[in-house]
Structure 1
């Protein structure tokens, strides 16, 4: 392995909520009729590891390469601390809303994983909450206009909401007696008929109203009610912050913060985990008791993350598991760096060449590379180029 950077081929996930055109267009593929393209994974997760093209004749899954040569790929410090690539990088095309989700802390994940092992729940069981021992902090950056839910409304806004929406008046006593924990426990404990008793009249009133009179939450309720009319997760459209991100804006999802992606395209980097507690808008397993144990019952004032304006724009996030930067290079411009651990590059637009020693690798739109630890390299742009770079913070 004298050469230290290689083409990386990711894996597509065809989840039902995905779009049909964005990811194939990015990757230069012809979409198959009737198939959805939800996510493109660039990492070493055992469910869908990316493939490293070592030579024209040799391709190896990244997780196997790391298992065989951990220090060569990750570096000594990362290999000793994590033993695997600690992050997973994705491209998402959200055509239909994802489920309401909450991710555990590392301590909660370790305890939950051991408890479900003790109870004999298979790792591939639909009833399994904890697939591994890791937490799952997430950072996303919008590539298009992007709508999502993020964190509970601040207390004063939630109190005003319960007053201003007549159909929610029956929940005011619960709020008055126990605040947010009591309110959320109440709605997550509702049977479908009880959900319909509250939301049915609201949906009927909104359908009679003019579009200009509706809030964004009203509009999303009408959109989702056609297929999920009695879903408890519909309350989250009102009780959580409903955000509209512009291209280039980002947001961080910390442990315990409920969230859901509703529509748009983004890139996302997270700790290399698959631990999810769901809170509705899904047909998958919803473990209400565990959800309520993990969720953080506190109002959130959303903090959008903007790049810092430097040539290598940093999307700062409070985690040691990854670091996301974005390189914008004009034709003929160059950038130089050194990988302290394994890095993943995704060229979103343009054309650029990676160079280091005698090795050169050209990347075009939608193509990716992995750079091994200890590699000094240079990126030279042949056109106006946009590159996302995932690495580890210094000292991780």
Structure 2
């Protein structure tokens, strides 16, 4: 009996304790986080001229902050207008998904921050930066805010996701629905391998339906808005490689006069490829490997003659093996090489190509990896 009474008392005591707990005591609260107490870099009033180079970055560094529960703190760099250093206009997480005490921020991202702060393209202006510390939903912003003087890129504020070439001088004419997709090669950068006619004009659009944004290459060689239906033109019907850069309005026009298969052992082009249209070259001939003391040498790549000199195209994925039926499509992917050489960035022909009549086709179209095929006839 005494045991039963004791158990009843324990139960009532527990219920009383639970009832005595306030609701707020049962709720989870994010631990507090301290603000960063010092910004290290960039220094106060540092000046930066932005660049469109892919590796152009600026290092931001700061002192650590601490969470109440001793756990890891997450960080983000915050940017402010010169006229309002209270409300951030742009945020970028620090390296390693917010875990690091630094952020290597690309010039393109800094350019976006400056745009959000109202600095016009191509002009110099001021932004302020600081660091926000986070632990769960709790946050704190460093009271120090450093001034950064930035010369912005001269590019467009709005960069399209896709760009197409169209117009009477293009391979598909001025039918917008048939405009040719350009290849995206980087942030705001596009290129196309195509034939242009000397009669008529061509232009660039951001979509193939409705009323697209329209751009052209102006007489100064800069990419510009075609606000008055302007178009660009060429003086010679030929195949061209055209590049356009929305981050700085830069363009290039390179005429391609020859394309061929470069056979590494002989250090020369052994098969000319004729332009078929829409970024495709093709040629047929007998490919003979070169006999060496160690065996048959089958290494090759592509080479073209252009208005900018001799250029080579080679592998995206380095290889030193002959392909077979099980080789992935990526074995044949193609890229324009930074420099010419006899042996670097080459492929190997499949065994059955030796001495056979073969058709080699090079495809440089937008929307898919550049590639090529080798077919034994």
Q: TM-score range by the shorter chain?
A: under 0.3
Structure 1 or 2, whichever has the larger Rg, is 2
TM value normalised by structure 1:
0.24
> 1 or 2, which has the higher helix percentage?
1
TM value normalised by structure 2:
0.24
> 1 or 2, which has the higher strand percentage?
2
Tell me which of the two structures has the higher relative contact order, counting C-alpha pairs closer than 8 angstroms and 6 or more residues apart: 1
